[in-house]
Chain A
Amino acid sequence: MQKQNTITTDRDAVVFGDSVRDVSKKTITVAVAGNPNSGKTTVFNALTGARQHVGNYPGVTVDKVEGICKYKGYEIELVDLPGTYSLTAFSIEEVVARNFIVDENPDVVVDIVDSSNLERNLYLATQLVEMNVPLVLAFNMTDIVERRGIVFDNAMLSKFFNASIVPIVGKKAKGLDKLLDAVIETAENPRPKDDHIVHYGDEVEEELTKIQNLLTGEHYLVEKYGSRWLALKLLEQDKDILDKGHKPEVIDAVAKSVRHLTKITGEDPEITVASQRYGFISGACEETVRGSVELRHSRSDLVDKVVLNRVLAIPIFAGLMYGVFKLTFTIGEPFMGIIEGFFGWLSTAITGLWPAGSESALKSLIVDGVIGGVGGVIVFVPNIMLLFLAIAILEDSGYMARAAFIMDRVMHKIGLHGKSFIPMLIGFGCSVPAIMGTRVLENRRSRLTTILVIPLMSCGARLPIYILLIPAFFAAKWHGLVMWSMYMIGIILAIVCAKLLRNTLFKGETLPFVMELPPFRVPTLRGVLTHMWQRSWMYLKKAGTILLGISIILWAATSYPKPAEEKLAGLSAEQAQTVQLRHSLAGRVGSVMEIAVKPLGFDYRIGTALIGALAAKEVFVAQMGIVYSLGDSEGSSQTLREKLANNYSPLQGFCIMLFCLISAPCMATLAICKRETGSWRWALFQFCGLTVLAYIVTLVVYQIGSLIIA
């Protein structure tokens, strides 16, 4: 396990005094497993302190959160496994969680069990017991259970599950010391192994024995987890385990057993196995739980009555989404101003270090390249943090699942999942957090489709382009309509593309919508802030580093090669800027591009500006300003508009907007797309695909439009 600058909390202070034990630290690795919504993260945060080290599991975009907790002379390394309902190969999370337990061999596994939803949560526990791992069951939310007058016979349950049981209240950090005691006890004196807690019925057991006999000594996993677990997984047709290089005899025997069992029971063995596990759990609960196991989340049900009401649900949903945008972009505005101001001051201050009028390359690199680039990323941080804050609140309260529930009908029609809706909606703000938001999608095909079409949602950075161009070409009464049509074109293209992708590249069954609607809970401040911070930091770190590099490259492309001094002589500063731009690499590429963009009604000036728009869409406006020798676009955009209106027809203006809407997403989007899909391939596919689409659509619109107008 990697140990990086992990923040630690010290629980030693009180308890360490009475210890006669060797002071040399002993290390225990603990994997924290549990169902989604079981309060696992809250417990993890309470154990390790507010901050942890967030990394990635190799090869997948599942967060790996690690932390350290010192207790009674032990150094306990905790790893927060992704929340799962089961340990089969249904989703990436399940594979990651299981592989971590199988490959990393933690000393103890702590399963956080939501005791107000005991039966479903014990399903995962049953599977962990069967894996023969030293297990501690932390019964979370025992306060809710107590309030309902329900009593568990923990000693008996502990016998049934062959694991220690510790009642805790994660939100109030109650019972955590006892939990850690149990962890140490289990690590030091593990219980005798018993992987046979569930009897699967004579027919299944018979087949299990047959396969087990063949497995002895066959596989390295047998030694680690026992032949029973392996045989069970094989019988469950677990793809991951089937592919682990078994002898052909074993594979044959398994296939035969599966056929046999299917014939007897009329269902796949994995279904029989799952039912038997639940049978065992029901039996255990019947004997150990006094009061009804079927708990009613009455308060949550009342909230559902309102927010999922057939009439009110959609208005409430729309209102909440509006609130999220309002929060993100309105409250973010002043902070953006402050940050912009700060970077403005910084560039002035740094420029001041050189004599006035200096043409130092270093100064230009720092001021235009680095500060421009870093500033470009950081300026979005307030927005992104606010958006993540809103998402964290919606998620932790349980509303996010309801949003997917409400919108699934629409999304299913275009081959996507209800959970795709929120990321696509966020796309109207900024594609970067939107793409990061697709992590909620379990199915890779659905997720990739959503990521690829998100840039078609007209993001906030395209707004300055529309604001510049629409008044230049259209009469005031058409402004709203043209603006609306840009957004609609984006939405329609996204729907078409999603459908197309789902029917070609990402063919296959849509993700089943078997989704838990967790009870509504009041989110904890700490949980929400941790969530927000972890994601914002990821944005800053990953998107930031890549974007910084690309900004420097773009800076170089627009600055070099420099024209000869004599060419600039006698020109005004603005004219000089134009000459320099034309002479630079970007300007030259823009000129070459003219041939390509001519059929779209664009000239070299638009071509050059489009290259700048790669860094960020709104740069297009500034670039047009430079090209038209107007310097800053802000104060003098009226004249820029006039120049544009003189140079281009309304059709051309519309085509510019159309192209900016559809074409290659900005660098930050590409960087995040690479990060989230795990390969440059998809980022490049997105880049090229959208550019080609933009080219074709604009070409058709311009050519047909020209014919009609002429």
Chain B
Amino acid sequence: MMVRTEKLSASLEDYLEAIFWIAQSKGAARAKDIAKRLCVKASSVTGALQSLGEKKYVNYAPYDVITLTSEGLEVAKKVVRRHQILKDFFVDVLGVDADIADEGACSLEHSIPRTVVERLVDFMEFMEVCPRGGKDWLKGFADQCNAQKKHNCEKCMDACLKKFRKEKQIMITEEKTTTVADLKPKQKGVVIKINRRGAIAKRLAEMGIGRGTLVEFERVAPLGDPIDIKVKGYHLSLRKSEAADIIISAK
């Protein structure tokens, strides 16, 4: 198949791509639509279609609708994908306008080797996830291109580190989430949320237990039920059933 593709001239690939897009929206293409999309004369279209029909890429008969053969579809998809990858690279990585990116993709898509395209895809994916790169990094590049100013590397690295730590922190707190009822004496925790609605939740909020409140577990009642916690500097007692609805990150 590769061999065949290479045999196709640049303009014939354009035709296949055009038929693919028209077929996507209308189901089948007519010579008139193709001429309009590629801005060429109807006579040139007829010639190109005859040539594609001979190569078994399209089902072509004069005055009938034009459809892609399975082989034609295969080639068209490849072209379309190449085009999209190149355009994304120009827009997302290089920060080029969409229209210019489209034009550039058009002129590169026919000549660029497959291996280079695949590597380009890998590179983009890597940049988006790598903590040293990422979307912020690309945005920094775009800013620099637009503003023509020098990038502040220290500030950028600080921000990068902060973000990295925050993400790590979230992962840690998620691991240590527990409820007030499960704490041990003298253990502390910060309230994340209250899994309760209605009067009890309101009472707790009014007594000062809200998101971010530091709670210290003091003791359990001798018979094992209400518990005594310290919050905002005073002692508050709760039943375990109520305490079990106060989600905290333990310290």
Contact = CB atoms under 8 A, between A and B. Distances in A.
Binding partners A and B: yes
Interface of A: 85-86, 88, 90, 117, 119-120, 123, 267-268, 270-271, 274-275, 278, 293-296, 304, 308-311, 313-314, 401, 405-410, 412, 418, 509, 512-519
B232 interface: yes
Q: Taking each of B206, B222, B228, which has the highest tally of chain A beta carbons within 10 Å of its own beta carbon?
A: B206
24 contacts: A86-B206, A88-B206, A119-B208, A120-B232, A271-B205, A274-B210, A275-B205, A278-B213, A294-B232, A304-B228, A308-B222, A310-B220, A311-B222, A314-B223, A405-B237, A409-B224, A512-B200, A513-B242, A514-B204, A514-B236, A516-B235, A516-B236, A516-B237, A517-B228
Interface in B213-251: 213-214, 218-226, 228, 232-239, 242
Contacts of B93: none
Given A88-B206, A409-B223, A517 B236 contact: yes
Contacts, number: 132
A90 B226 contact: no
Interface of B: 193-194, 197-208, 210-211, 213-214, 218-226, 228, 232-239, 242
A271 B203 contact: no
A514 B50 CA distance: 86
A408 B226 contact: yes
A304 B228 CA distance: 10
A325 B233 CA distance: 35
A86 to B, nearest CB: 4
A120 B207 contact: yes
A86 B204 CA distance: 11
A405 B221 contact: yes
A504 to B, nearest CB: 22
A410 B202 CA distance: 26
Contacts of A268: 197-198, 201-202
A515 B236 contact: yes
Given A275-B210, A412-B239, A513-B239, A119 B232 contact: yes
A519 B233 CA distance: 11
Nearest to B197: A268
Contact of B238 (A119, A304, A407, A514): A514
Contacts of A267: 193-194, 197, 201
Given A408-B221, A409-B221, A90 B199 contact: yes
Contact of A408 (B204, B232, B239): B239
A120 B236 CA distance: 11
B182 to A, nearest CB: 18
Contact of B211 (A86, A270, A275): A275
Contact of B200 (A123, A274, A514, A515): A514
A309 B221 CA distance: 8
Contacts of B198: 268
Contacts of A120: 207-208, 232-234
A428 to B, nearest CB: 21
A85 B232 contact: no
B223 A90 contact: no
Contacts of B207: 85, 120, 514, 516
Contacts of A85: 206-207
Nearest to B204: A514
Given A274-B210, A296-B233, A513-B239, A406 B222 contact: yes
Contacts of B201: 267-268, 271
B228 A314 contact: no
B219 A117 contact: no
Contact of A293 (B205, B211, B233): B233
A414 to B, nearest CB: 13
Contacts of B225: 408-409, 412
A377 to B, nearest CB: 38
A294 B215 CA distance: 11
A53 B242 CA distance: 40
A270 B203 contact: no
Given A86-B206, A274-B210, A512 B223 contact: no
A85 B234 CA distance: 13
Contacts of A406: 221-223
Contact of A117 (B213, B218, B234): B234
Contacts of B232: 117, 119-120, 293-294
Nearest to A236: B202
Contacts of A314: 222-223
B165 to A, nearest CB: 24
A413 to B, nearest CB: 9
Given A268-B197, A313-B222, A274 B236 contact: no
Contact of A517 (B199, B220, B237): B237
Given A85-B207, A278-B208, A405-B226, A294 B239 contact: no
B251 to A, nearest CB: 15
A519 B201 CA distance: 24
Contacts of A90: 199, 202-203, 206
Contacts of B222: 308-311, 313-314, 406
Contacts of B205: 270-271, 274-275, 278
Contacts of B223: 314, 406-410
Contacts of A518: 234-235
Q: Taking each of A296, A412, A514, A518, which has the highest tally of chain B beta carbons within 10 Å of its own beta carbon?
A: A514
Going nearest first, the 3 A-B pairs with the smallest beta carbon separation are A274-B205, A275-B210, A409-B225
Given A90-B199, A275-B205, A275-B210, A295 B226 contact: no
Nearest to A509: B199
Nearest to B226: A408
Given A119-B233, A296-B233, A308 B221 contact: yes
Nearest to A316: B222
A418 B226 CA distance: 9
Contacts of B235: 304, 516-519
Contacts of A119: 208, 232-233
B233 A513 contact: no
A85 B207 CA distance: 7
A309 B223 CA distance: 11
A308 B202 CA distance: 28
B150 to A, nearest CB: 36
A270 B206 CA distance: 9
A417 to B, nearest CB: 10
Contacts of A409: 221, 223-226
A519 B208 CA distance: 17
Nearest to A308: B219
Contacts of B238: 512-514
Contacts of B219: 304, 308, 310
A131 to B, nearest CB: 16
Contacts of A512: 199-200, 203, 238-239, 242
B206 A123 contact: yes
Given A304-B219, A313-B222, A519-B234, 16 more contacts: A88-B202, A117-B234, A119-B233, A270-B202, A304-B235, A308-B228, A310-B220, A313-B221, A314-B223, A406-B221, A406-B223, A408-B221, A408-B223, A408-B226, A513-B239, A516-B235
Nearest to B213: A278
A38 to B, nearest CB: 11
A267 B200 CA distance: 13
A405 B194 contact: no
Contacts of A407: 223
A117 B233 contact: yes
A514 B221 contact: no
A512 B232 CA distance: 20
B64 to A, nearest CB: 56
B139 to A, nearest CB: 26
Nearest to A270: B202
Q: Taking each of B203, B204, B220, B224, which has the highest tally of chain A beta carbons within 10 Å of its own beta carbon?
A: B203
A519 B234 CA distance: 8
A519 B221 CA distance: 17
B53 to A, nearest CB: 58
Contacts of A517: 228, 234-237
A627 B229 CA distance: 61
Contacts of B210: 271, 274-275, 278
